[in-house]
Chain A
Amino acid sequence: MDVRAAPSDAEVVARVLGGDAEAFGILIRRYEAGLLRFATRMLGSRDAAADAVAEGFVRAYRHLAGCREPARLRTWLYRIVTNRCKSHLARRSVADVSLDEAPPVADPFDTEATLERGEQMVLVQQALTELSADKREAFVLKHVEGLSYEEMAAVTGERIPTLKMRVHRAREALLKVLEEHA
């Protein structure tokens, strides 16, 4: 039985930099789900999110030698994808991007709880979309991706008090919208 542990990020980075480009697939499989979720919450569209994440991975591969701390690759990847999302947002107004998260057509086998959860998701996503990009980014990194304020500072390049303020304002705005629709 093969009991080898999965290689660490630093080991995979060393393999890629050593010429094994295919090993980069390990990093994609390891991080794409979280990055796609983050980008989807930022952009409000799965297609735009897939573009941003794909561009981010290609950029990461091309600049992998410049990743100073391979052990903190996750933070570095979030930083790259955050910048790709900002670039997409600069090109398009997020408010009218997509209704990807519109409630699915009711399935006769869906339970009431499933339908209610779908409606809640639409409401929360809509409330998130109404936040400014900075607040949305801060809220998603903190509460959806579970980053610490230190990690968020590394991702965004902002100071921790600034990020705390953005998260607080985002919570307040989100609660206001949710209570209006309660």
Chain B
Amino acid sequence: MNMIDPRIHQALDGELSPDTLPPELRRVVRQVAAAADLLATPVRSVSVESRVMAEIRRPAPTRAQRVARWIITPHAITFRIRPVWSLAFAAAAAVLTMFAARGGGLELGEYEGIAQFVGRFPDAQSVHVVGSFNDWRAGSIALEDQDHDGVWRATIVLPAGTYEYMFVVDGERWVPDHLAERLVADEFGRENSVVIVRPARR
């Protein structure tokens, strides 16, 4: 670690007058101050006032609209349990899964469909999918590579609609799915993949 003389920090924190420092330390204090001055230069940027005020003037959604939106938005739910209970839950989940499999797989509502995500990441330790369906929250939907062949898969039920998404590899690398139905440019000038989920029952 690159430690510097603590008196430099004291001077920069206003606890010590720079004039009391030896010349070589004063030079370092000036160097940091000069860097800060440069960064404090006003940024040439377009005012956000008009877009903020336009958003503010739009009528707020009603309580019913907010509730409806919350209901159709996927949410990650986390809960903590004692290990002994986890065994019981695992057994119950296994039984439920067996029944679900007999019943023909995922249960779909009238306006829901199945989205399948597949990506080949041979060296990945983890792969997640993030997108407009989960508010771009990393970590909530994991893909699995059950046979360790480097092909990661996830199948989820979503309300019918068009969603943008990306893969997050090893928790940090954001990668578009080039096999997606479509790719669109996002506000960062990069490409998001697009999946269209069609309702299973028409």
Contact = CB atoms under 8 A, between A and B. Distances in A.
A178 B31 contact: yes
B57 interface: yes
Contacts of B48: 28, 32, 36, 50, 53-54, 57
A144 B52 contact: no
Interface residues of A, number: 51
B20 to A, nearest CB: 19
B43 interface: yes
B39 A32 contact: no
A161 B172 CA distance: 29
Interface in B12-50: 12-13, 28, 31-36, 38-49
A143 B36 contact: yes
Contact of A125 (B33, B39, B46): B39
A172 B45 contact: no
B35 A174 contact: yes
Contact of B13 (A41, A48, A61, A164): A164
Given A32-B48, A121-B41, A24 B53 contact: yes
B9 A28 contact: no
Contact of A90 (B32, B42, B138, B188): B138
A22 B56 CA distance: 9
A146 B33 CA distance: 12
Contacts of B3: 172
Contacts of A173: 2
A8 B170 CA distance: 48
Contacts of A62: 60
A91 B136 contact: yes
A156 interface: no
Contact of B38 (A49, A51, A61, A117): A117
Contact of A175 (B31, B44, B56): B31
A57 B188 contact: no
A124 B47 contact: no
A62 B58 CA distance: 12
Contacts of A41: 39
A124 B12 contact: no
Contacts of A36: 43, 45, 48
B187 A47 contact: yes
Contact of A58 (B31, B38, B55, B188): B55
Nearest to A46: B45
Interface of A: 21-22, 24-25, 28-29, 32-33, 36-37, 40-41, 45-51, 53-54, 57-58, 61-62, 90-93, 97, 117, 120-121, 124-125, 127-128, 140, 143-144, 146, 164, 167-168, 171-176, 178
11 contacts: A24-B52, A28-B52, A32-B47, A33-B43, A46-B44, A58-B52, A92-B188, A93-B172, A143-B40, A171-B8, A172-B3
Chain A to chain B: the 3 pairs with minimum beta-carbon distance, closest first = A143-B36, A54-B48, A57-B52
